[in-house]
Amino acid sequence: MRCPYFDAGVCRSCTWMGRPHGEQVADKERHCLNLLGERDDLVWLPPVTGRESGYRNKAKMVVGGTVEQPTLGILDAGGKGVDLQGCGLYPASLAATFPVLAAFVTRASLTPYDVPARTGELKNLLVTQSPDGDLMVRFVLRSQEPVARIRKHLPWLLGVLPQLRVVSVNLLPDHKAVLEGDREILLTATETLRMRVNGIDLHLRPQSFFQTNTEVAAALYRHATAWVEELAPVSVWDLYCGVGGFALHVAAPGREVVGIETSTEAIASATVSAADLGLAGVRFAAGDATAFALGADAAPDLVIVNPPRRGIGEALSRWLEASGVRHVVYSSCNAVSLARDLAAMPSLRPRRAQVLDMFPQTTHYEVLTLLERV
């Protein structure tokens, strides 16, 4: 894949841009193997790859420039907006929304936030596209001042983008280098975006996390489900469950599945999905994964963990090591923290591992491992 922004030096976010895709995947496998170590009892499955371009289902666009000429993309070192509407990581159908949203910024007089001067209102535009082509758009604002104008012109936006289902405002009053704030104001009657994955509708609320690469995420869920089905556990925990992707995929008659996640928005999404599917044996609760495990009366047959980059940490690793859990399915976006967690759980040995190229053109990847107690 070639990128004019990268070649011109205006965006270097994709650090491996221009490298052959096969070479990227091979290096990711090698990196992961070196971290996990050579083991005679560990089977490495073929890597999962997808499209090397047009794979992102979510655009996180920093808004710069002026009301009349807004930029959607990133900021340069001086805090000036760099327009990246032609970024090749987005599918054409998602990229087609960017000019419309830029026009809406002008129409609704949304002043881009000037980072050096700390003035203006509109900080970021977050756009998510479902596999069916439906859209969620979130306006990240410094204050509520522009909300009335957004409401006033929203019918125009819905008319131009008929696939737009969910629109919200996120409030980020602080001058911080973060993507969004805590408070969300929904502007549409529809509250969730349906992400259809492997025939399962996952409801995505504005502040819920979902994997960036839908195609590879679908493969991740399929492969983990196949491992779980082979082991046929009666009870399963899905820790760091997000919107319930793993939990909803492994649900089966006679199997009790519990999903735990700190985000109340994600838990609300997962609960709606479970109800839609009629899954009586699945329940979700908001809470800390480690606290939930340490406070439980008994351990399940199998635990699925899908933590953030920091990993599951020492306390949960120690609990898993001392528990009676027979198998753990560990989905990691950071093989460094995975290796550290595995070292703290010597009785849970990795038996299978698979690299999934979730983030082509970058050094990042997902690795799925099956751990078995010895």
Among the options 11, 14, 87, 333, which is catalytic?
Answer: 333
Please tell me the distance from the alpha carbon of residue 324 to that of residue 320, in angstroms, as a whole number.
8
List CB contacts of 18: < 8 A, sequence separation 6 or more. Answer: 1, 2, 3, 6, 7
Please tell me the distance from the alpha carbon of residue 263 to that of residue 241, in angstroms, as a whole number.
10
Residue in 125, 63, 138, 132 with CA at minimum distance from that of residue 91: 132
Please tell me the distance from the alpha carbon of residue 290 to that of residue 128, in angstroms, as a whole number.
30
* Residue 291 near residue 271, CB atoms below 8 Å: no
List CB contacts of 8: < 8 A, sequence separation 6 or more. Answer: none
Residue in 4, 48, 13, 370 with CA at minimum distance from that of residue 216: 48
Annotated active-site residue 333? The verdict is yes
Catalytic annotation, residues: 333
